Structure 1
Amino acid sequence: LKSGDTEKITFFASVSRQKEIYIMAANYLQSLDWRKEPEIMRNIISFYTKGRALDLLAGFYDACAQVEIDEYQNYDKA
């Protein structure tokens, strides 16, 4: 995580198959600009799901909805 190399972090999390690694990778990816990168958003959802961190996944979906409302006034999509 310290390297900041998103591709390596995503690859490592994908092959690690450890709950904690999935969650740490998803948390790291949330610190990036996931709003403009759909691939990062998909990875966050995937890692939280694989890590069985449904509370964190719900929080992420809440953040997504808030962005849609705040930035785009798109209440239907939120």
Structure 2
Amino acid sequence: MSWSLAGPRWRSRDDVGTSPTDDARHLLTYLSGGLTDESIARELGVSERTVGRRIARLQEVLGAQTRFQLGVQASRHGWL
């Protein structure tokens, strides 16, 4: 089984019109608050590496190349 297919926590690009998962919303909120990956990891109880992967996945889902674009896209979709 591929990790990209595992679990419903992180949605595909086809799901962009829907609301984000609670995990994604928390991550986006922490990012918009200016927290570092280290601080976000501590808040979520995961590793920094996991935070980085989750951010990369959200960027993929929302079609963002940078974290700034991720914030813009999340806002445009009403995720923030």
**TM-score (norm. length: structure 1):** 0.35
Going by fraction, where is helix more abundant, 1 or 2? 1
**TM-score (norm. length: structure 2):** 0.34
Greater C-alpha radius of gyration: 1
State the structure with bigger RCO (CA 8 A, min sep 6), 1 or 2. 2
